Amino acid sequence: MRPREAQPNLLVVVADVGDEVAVGPLLAELGEAIRTLTAGTDARLLGLPPGDLTITVGVGPRLVRLAGPSLPGTTDLPEFDRERISPAARGGDLLLQVCAGDAVVPSVAAAALLDQAGDRIRERWRQAGRRGSTVAVNQDLTAPRNVFGFLDGIVGPHTTAQQRRDLWLAGPPPVAGGTIAVLRRMELDLRRFATLSVSDQEAVFGRRRDTGAPLSGGTIASDPDLSAKTPDGRYLIPADAHLRRAHPATVGVGLMLRRSYSIDEPAPGLLFISFQNDIRTFTNTLTRMDDGDALLSFTTTTASATFLILPGFDQLPLGATMFD
């Protein structure tokens, strides 16, 4: 199984589920609505062609713990540095991630899902995002340009073997083929970043701004050489460059699939979204970044949540057997 190529338009809704709500039937109903929405047979689409509409549903740690304390996805995200997160924007029971090529379809599809759930859920926050213009990394992968002008999401589990190892959850149903999502909404300090020279900006990321090539050389598709040095002994990819600090080889974790989207509100920034089959891939990476990643000083995180992403479904209801 391969993840679908990211669509240009995203809407994320994070909600809580009421204490008395039967979660299994709620998920089954959402699954049925997803089926009719993506098939284009749901009147709530108001005649809009769904196109490549893709809806991903996640269940927050509180609900996963209720379903089974030994399931993956029971762990809340800890607090990290450089956070300014209101209580409403930390955690949550339910993730609805709606992506499409069309610019208005995500809003309309999300409204249909919220209509389906009715007063069983309570919206906490929502965030729209867009992928900037993209550059091809290889024939299967494109990287979008973020509001810092840099290309994003280049390193990741892009081969089937890597995805089996680091992306998809193994084990028995109901989680086999699912994954763990981390969402972090960040404001980015464009004003201060723009005062840097281009080469200083590139030193922050560890890549060329125009091409996305690592500072160790090659093309955007080249593996960064973290040991490469200048003739006078300095690292080509600086010690505090994001590419080095966040690299799986530096952190000692598996690969995360990063599917971040640029945002305009409440301030210019990024909705960072990563998928991995072990939340420690994310938490260990960010802990390592907190300890000296040059990029972090330009970020303020304003929302944070993790979810168990339910496997795609063809026959079974969404979340089948998990909340029996």
Give residues in contact with a second copy (CB under 8 A). 8-9, 11, 43-48, 102-104, 106-108, 110-112, 114-115, 126-128, 130-133, 145-149, 190-191, 193-194, 198, 201, 209-210, 262-266, 268
Nearer to a second copy, 148 or 272 (CB): 148
Work out how close the CB of 82 gets to a second copy at its nearest, in angstroms, rounded to a whole number.
19
Q: Cα(8)–Cα(130) distance, rounded to whole angstroms?
A: 5
DSSP state of 90: B
Greatest CA separation for the chain: 67
Angstrom distances, CA of residue 157 to CA of 135, 141, 246, 255: 18, 11, 14, 6
* Alpha-carbon Rg for the chain in angstroms: 20
Asked if the peptide bond before residue 266 counts as cis, ω within 30 degrees of 0, the response is yes
Cβ–Cβ under 8 Å, residues 138 and 271 = no
- How many C-alpha atoms does 110 have within 13 Å on its Cβ side? 25
Nearer to a second copy, 159 or 211 (CB): 211
Work out how close the CB of 202 gets to a second copy at its nearest, in angstroms, rounded to a whole number.
10
Work out how close the CB of 242 gets to a second copy at its nearest, in angstroms, rounded to a whole number.
15
Nearer to a second copy, 191 or 234 (CB): 191
Work out how close the CB of 305 gets to a second copy at its nearest, in angstroms, rounded to a whole number.
17
> Which residues on adjacent β-strands are paired with residue 207?
214
Nearer to a second copy, 49 or 171 (CB): 49
Question: How many CB atoms are closer than 10 A to CB 135?
Answer: 16
Nearer to a second copy, 193 or 282 (CB): 193
Nearer to a second copy, 38 or 201 (CB): 201
Cβ–Cβ under 8 Å, residues 277 and 75 = no
Residue-wise burial string across 291-306, b where 16 or more C-beta atoms lie within 10 A, e elsewhere = eebbbbebbbbbbbbb
Angle, CA of 63, 65 and 67, to the nearest 5° = 70
Work out how close the CB of 269 gets to a second copy at its nearest, in angstroms, rounded to a whole number.
8
Q: Cα(267)–Cα(196) distance, rounded to whole angstroms?
A: 20
Work out how close the CB of 153 gets to a second copy at its nearest, in angstroms, rounded to a whole number.
14
Work out how close the CB of 176 gets to a second copy at its nearest, in angstroms, rounded to a whole number.
33
Nearer to a second copy, 127 or 304 (CB): 127
Tokens 């990063």 sit on residue: 258
